[in-house]
Structure 1
Amino acid sequence: MNDRVSVITVNRPRRVEQRITGHQTSDGAGVKLTRVIGQALHRRLDPFLMLDAFRSDHPEDYIAGFPDHPHRGFETLTYLVAGRMRHRDSAGHEGLLQSGGLQWMLAGRGVIHAELPEQEQGEMEGFQLWLNLPANAKMSAPDYRDVQESEIPGFTTTEGAAVKVLMGSSHGVAGAIARPVTEPRVLDIRLPAGSRFDDRLPPEHHAALYVYRGTVAISGSPVHTRQLAILEQSADSDGLALTAEADSRVLLIAGRPLHEPIVAHGPFVMNTEAEIRQAIADYQAGRLAA
């Protein structure tokens, strides 16, 4: 779906609070990636726990993928801009993630899963986002869904901004995945040079924008490729406004903070140290995959 919608005008847009450049690292079996959001931002960007960006046309950077590994206490969104990746998990879910598609996984009380490339050459590009779960949902049953690109709702504004609504809703268009409590909104926005995109946001929601092509200006402040702009919060703000200084693509993330304790240890995110110790013990005893 790709509806054409009228332009929304935001009158009191948020400004850039800070810019962050992610650091290069590797994860899984040596997959090279950029960690854009990590533990240092858990509080500031609650409920978002992690954002990894990856892009390479060198197979040695991604071919080993992410073999079996555990998770507990949160949910993930993986969005593949280019490439092919197979998901399998201990709860019996399996799916093929292809260019332009996404997969959502609820780790809940525990799951062991693998994400392995189904290509031996060519470009692999995408993002993985971790979202915290409220305390009363951390031990819920695991779940999974994959959505192909043709199934992801989207729209084009009269100014030419093309938007894919991965999570939440925007401009009256409901996205591929909706989640309660944290109400996450995740948009992939493609902007021609000179175009503007406005979107309304509740003032209490945390919001950030990652530029992965080009340069955009947020309330007149430039944000360049591979920079994350954290948007300030103000009780009288009514949303965000960005203008493309060049042909650009950006990932917008926004959501309602939980304001709960966060204790993270590798693949486990809980509310207390005791819960983390229990997660480790359950994994070592083979109970996580049950």
Structure 2
Amino acid sequence: MTPTPIIRQVDRVITSQPSQDGDGVNIRRIHDFGGGLDPFLMLDELGSDRPDDYIGGFPPHPHRGIQTLTYVIHGGLTHEDHLGHSSTIRAGDAQWMHTGRGIIHSEMPLTDQQGLHAFQLWLNLAARDKLSPATYRDVRAAEMPTLIGRDAALIALGGHWQDATGDSMEGPLEALAGQGAVAHARLAAGGELTLTSPTTTLLVYVFKGSLEIAGTVVPQGRLASLGSGEQLALASREGAEALLLAGEPHGEPIAHYGPFVMNARAELEQALNDYREGTFIG
């Protein structure tokens, strides 16, 4: 007989907290720079129909030692950086930035009839990649494949995803840190979706409605961190949307200061010194 797959259970639930960043942009944030979400570091949700909450955007600022993934639900964001990239993403699009040794960029918001709703995820780079060359890529909604479940759909931004029937897909972003995978799950009322989940780290952030994960109800604005197992079982009575994050921990020391994430305090001091002296992006 084929053994029954082990369903991953919710280990803990983290509530997003109101915060501000950039030029007074109101956000809801979940972060853990102690390694508790490794290889993920932070998830920001920007969501408002009031332009004053976000119109100031994120003027030019530096990063080193991370990747960022920005995903738009509605509205848009325009990105510019010192490498000469200039592009705009809108509903359903994403942009991925590998900061490596250093990048200086800005992100300015665009609005639609519903205002702005977007996410930015920080992924930690392994020590060997902290000082690698910076790169950037846009991903359009049309490039993202979709898995269909029972009154449910899974849109893959990056990494490998497979459902319990064996149907699988690869998101267009193949170089996410920590063998990362990111997807957007949509469940109608009564919808169900069961996925295989071989990675060590598996996180589910609910941003609309509420999800039942192996019998635990996770409401809007919460991140569920799941224990070990072989399958992820999602269901929703009222309908829900969520971001799914999967990856393998680096298991390395984390040193964090503002936009810089390195492995040691001395490396943070070097990043600050490089930025002050104009050698940050050399």
Aligned mate of 2:15, from 3, 15, 21: 21
1:194 equivalent in structure 2 = 190
Matches of 2:75 and 2:24, distance apart in 1: 17
Give the CA deviation at 1:117. 1.5
| % identical aligned pairs | 41
Count of paired positions? 275
Displacement after TM superposition at 1:207 (Å):
1.1
Q: How far off its partner does 1:28 sit?
A: 0.4
CA drift of 1:120 comes to: 8.0
Tell me which residue corresponds to 2:62.
Answer: 70
| DSSP 3-state at the match of 1:175 | strand
| Counterpart for residue 263 of structure 1 | 255
Structure 2 counterpart SS, 1:18:
strand
How far does residue 121 in structure 1 lie from its aligned partner after superposition?
6.7
Alignment correspondent of 1:154: 146
Alignment of 1:245-264 (within 5 A): 245-264=237-256
1:109 aligned onto 2:120:
no
Q: Which residue among 160, 163, 172 is the counterpart of 1:176?
A: 172
TM score, norm. by length of structure 1: 0.91
Q: Does 1:163 align with 2:154?
A: yes
**For residue 80 of structure 2, what is the amino acid of its counterpart?**
R
Q: Please tell me whether the aligned partners of residues 74 and 269 of structure 1 are also in contact (alpha carbons under 8 angstroms).
A: yes
| In 1, Cα distance between equivalents of 2:117 and 2:193 | 24
Aligned residue for 1:100, secondary structure, equals: coil
Residue identity matched to 1:153: P
**Judging changes above 3 Å, is the alpha-carbon distance between structure 1 residues 246 and 120 closer, same or farther for their aligned structure 2 residues?**
closer
- Pairing 1:1-290 to 2, within 5 Å after superposition: 11-39=5-33, 42-119=34-111, 122-157=114-149, 159-171=150-162, 172-179=168-175, 182-202=178-198, 205-233=200-228, 237-290=229-282
- Stretches of 4+ moved more than 3 A in 1? 118-122
Contact 1:59 1:122 in 2 (8 A): no
User: What TM-score comes out, normalization by structure 2 length?
Assistant: 0.93
Deviates more, 1:259-268 or 1:148-157: 148-157
> How far did 1:119 drift?
3.8
2:175 is matched by which residue type in structure 1?
R
Check whether the contact 2:79–2:108 (CA below 8 A) recurs between aligned residues. Answer: yes
Q: Is the 8 A contact 1:59 1:121 kept in 2?
A: no
Amino acid corresponding to residue 221 of structure 2 in structure 1: R
CA RMSD of the aligned region, Å? 1.6
Whether the 8 Å CA contact 2:39–2:177 is kept in 1: the answer is no
* Structure 1 residue 65, shift from structure 2 partner: 0.2
1:42-96 per-residue CA deviation (whole Å, 9 max, x = no partner) reads: 4111000110111001000011100000000010000010112110001111211
SS at the partner of 2:62? Answer: strand
Counterparts of 2:146 and 2:256, CA distance in 1: 34
Q: 1:155 deviation in Å? A: 2.3
What is aligned with 2:165?
A: none
Aligned residue number for residue 5 of structure 1 = none
Alpha-carbon shift at residue 205 of structure 1 (Å): 1.4
Structure 2: gaps (5+ residues): 163-167
SS at match of 2:151: coil
Write 1 or 2 for the structure with the bigger share of strand.
Answer: 2
Provide structure 1 residue ranges, at least 5 long, that are not aligned to the other structure. Answer: 1-9
